[in-house]
Amino acid sequence: MSLLVLIVIYSVLFAIWWYWCRPRVRSPAPYPGALPIIGHIHVAFKYRNDVWSFLERLFNCVTNECVVLKMGSHNMYVVSDPDEVGVIANTSLKKSYHYSFLDNILENGLLLEDVPTWRIHRKLLNPAFNLHTLNTFQNIMNVEARSLVSQLKDKAGKEPVDVKELVVKYILRSVCRTSLGLEAKDQDMIDKEYAEAIEEIMDIAVKRALNVALYPSFIFKRTAKGKREQELIMRIKNILNRTIQKRKSDLKTIDNKQNNKTDVSDGSANGKFKPILDLMLHLSDEQEGFSDDDIRQHLNTFVFASYDTTSGVLQTVLSVLGSRPDVQERVYKEIVEVFGDNEELTKYDLPKLVYLEAVIKEVLRLYPIVPWVGRQIDTDIVFPKYTLRAGSTCILVIYNLHRHSSWGPDVKEFKPERWLNPATLPTHPNVYAPFGIGKRNCIGKRYAMMTLKTSVAHIVRNFQLSADISNLCWNFEVVLKPSKPILVSFTLRP
């Protein structure tokens, strides 16, 4: 009997070894530390409150080699080589299953929609983010930045401030006013109802992602969290539907002749402010390009993606400047020179903020708010050393790309000066990808840079900052978020 038990145990152990450890023809090497059955799930839980440490470990372990993470029975390819990343990003446009936890929230917005629809909608929406249109947003960005400065003046000279709440509300207001066309007086419902709903929904999505038992939709929908998510989704739908209908009504009061003088194909030819919602309503009326549901889903995606990412980057920029007095002083001198005696920045001023842009780019390089993107591989992708199989998930690690050896021996150092001399920058296009990689990159990257430059210029012009970024740790909650408050001291400049 004992011999039979030993044979069974040996057979089970051999089967486990054969499945998990046997060499596979042309398959990338497994990431170290996989356990039988669960694979690397224990690693995900170990580092869930300190993603930065995991990213650094991953970087030190794999460098440019592709490895396989085993998440239970599911394999994920982790790719860091710039050439391989480029091939995958431009041939596999379908988002990976990780994004499915946002399906209920964002539905068929630009971030998640299927590839054929995305191709059509991306082309239709590109004019809403070209330079002509974005330049018409500058006045609103100045107004909101000055409002933020006014709020920070109440905090100046006091204890260090957790800037998260102020920054998130500021970005949300700016994004909503430029994308939805809301007047300041109509912003209250967005500041309160919408913002609170989005924050709670993201929290639910993260908790679901960390609980394998809630992955099946038919189970999740029956839980308290699933039911609460549905309530919040309905609240958001109602808010945005009211906003769309109100904007439709407002547009009817505009003189058609005057409205027709504006060429929507390039934003606003005469410089008149034209929110993103107006473009979509025009496409809906004239070309039947969007239904009301399409418009709502795209708007929700713009606001959701913009304020969550841009607010995180702005907090990090403020912390970096507060930790680097020499960098901050150089930024301040440039800002004073560009502003002159004016109260606001113009569209002609932003390109002159060269060093400030270098600082922001370096922050985006060293502290990418989205450290990786996921794609679903549709067909086998053959590389010299291995083949990535169709149907698999592929993780493209932006964190590793930003630390690629082509950046030089000082790759881990914060050096904005590297951006001032293009001849010294890496020539490979994929080693810098803070707004995604390949064809399906972020449509709002110019918008984000405008917002960040305008925000920082107004803040640094008015305040001297003090902070300490050395102890910064990150959680992964859809995007990277600080695991503890980012504290910044503000001192009014004379």
pLDDT tens for 112-169 read 888 999 999 999 899 889 999 999 999 999 999 999 999 999 999 899 999 988 998 8
Average pLDDT over residues 299-320: 89
Nearest of 113, 104, 93 to residue 294 by alpha carbon: 113
CA dihedral 234, 240, 244, 245 (to 10 degrees): 50
- DSSP letters, 173-190, are HHHHHHHT---GGG-HHI
Give the model's pLDDT for residue 147: 94
Give the model's pLDDT for residue 465: 97
Residue 403 and residue 411 in contact, taking contact as beta carbons nearer than 8 Å: yes
Helix (H, G, I), strand (E, B) or coil at 376: strand
Answer whether residue 429 shows pLDDT above 70: yes
Answer whether residue 48 shows pLDDT above 70: no
Cα 311 to Cα 308: distance, rounded to the nearest angstrom: 6
Which of left, alpha, beta for 340 (phi over 0: left; psi -120 to 50: alpha)?
left
Q: Which helix (H) or strand (E) holds 67?
A: strand 67-71
Give pLDDT tens digits for 275-296. 888 888 888 877 677 888 888 9
Cα 320 to Cα 468: distance, rounded to the nearest angstrom: 8
Give the model's pLDDT for residue 5: 64
Q: Token pair for residue 13?
A: 């152990």
Answer whether residue 385 shows pLDDT above 60: yes
Q: Token pair for residue 141?
A: 């960005």
Give pLDDT tens digits for 52-102. 677 777 766 666 678 887 776 677 898 999 999 999 999 999 988 778 878
Burial of 374 (0-12, 13-18, 19+ CB in 10 A): middle
Give the model's pLDDT for residue 262: 46
Give the model's pLDDT for residue 263: 46
Burial of 471 (0-12, 13-18, 19+ CB in 10 A): exposed
Among positive and negative, which fits the CA dihedral 373, 376, 382, 388?
positive
Helix intervals (H) in 324-397: 325-339, 354-366
CA dihedral 286, 290, 293, 295 (to 10 degrees): -90
Confidence of residue 265 (pLDDT cuts 50, 70, 90): very low
Give the model's pLDDT for residue 71: 72
Give the model's pLDDT for residue 73: 66
C-beta atoms surrounding 332 within 10 Å: 19
Average pLDDT over residues 295-314: 87
Give the model's pLDDT for residue 266: 42
Confidence of residue 1 (pLDDT cuts 50, 70, 90): low
Question: Is 394 marked as binding a ligand?
Answer: no
Nearest of 313, 296, 308, 306 to residue 362 by alpha carbon: 313
Helix (H, G, I), strand (E, B) or coil at 273: coil
- 48-57 in b/e form (b: 16+ CB < 10 A) is beebbebbee
Give the model's pLDDT for residue 63: 64
Give the model's pLDDT for residue 313: 94
Share of the chain above pLDDT 70, in %: 86
More confident residue, 243 or 257: 243
Answer whether residue 377 shows pLDDT above 80: yes
Give the model's pLDDT for residue 151: 95
Give pLDDT tens digits for 197-255. 888 888 888 788 777 788 888 899 999 999 999 999 999 899 888 888 888 887 777 64
Average pLDDT over residues 440-462: 95
Name the β-bridge partners of 489: 466
Q: Which amino acid is at 370?
A: V
Q: Any idea which of 3-17, 364-378, 441-455 has the lowest mean pLDDT?
A: 3-17
Question: How many residues are given for the chain?
Answer: 494
Residue 149 and residue 458 in contact, taking contact as beta carbons nearer than 8 Å: yes
Give how far the C-alpha of residue 385 lies from the chain's centroid of Cα atoms, to the nearest Å: 32
Give the model's pLDDT for residue 264: 43
Helix (H, G, I), strand (E, B) or coil at 466: strand
C-beta atoms surrounding 106 within 10 Å: 20
Contacts of 368 (CB under 8 A, 6+ apart): 398, 399, 402, 434, 480
Q: Any idea which of 180-184, 303-307, 407-411, 422-426 has the lowest mean pLDDT?
A: 180-184
Helix (H, G, I), strand (E, B) or coil at 150: helix
Give the model's pLDDT for residue 255: 46
Give the model's pLDDT for residue 432: 96
292-323 and 164-179 helices, crossing angle to 10°: 140
Residue 97 and residue 209 in contact, taking contact as beta carbons nearer than 8 Å: no
Q: Which helix (H) or strand (E) holds 395?
A: strand 393-397
Give the chain's mean pLDDT.
85
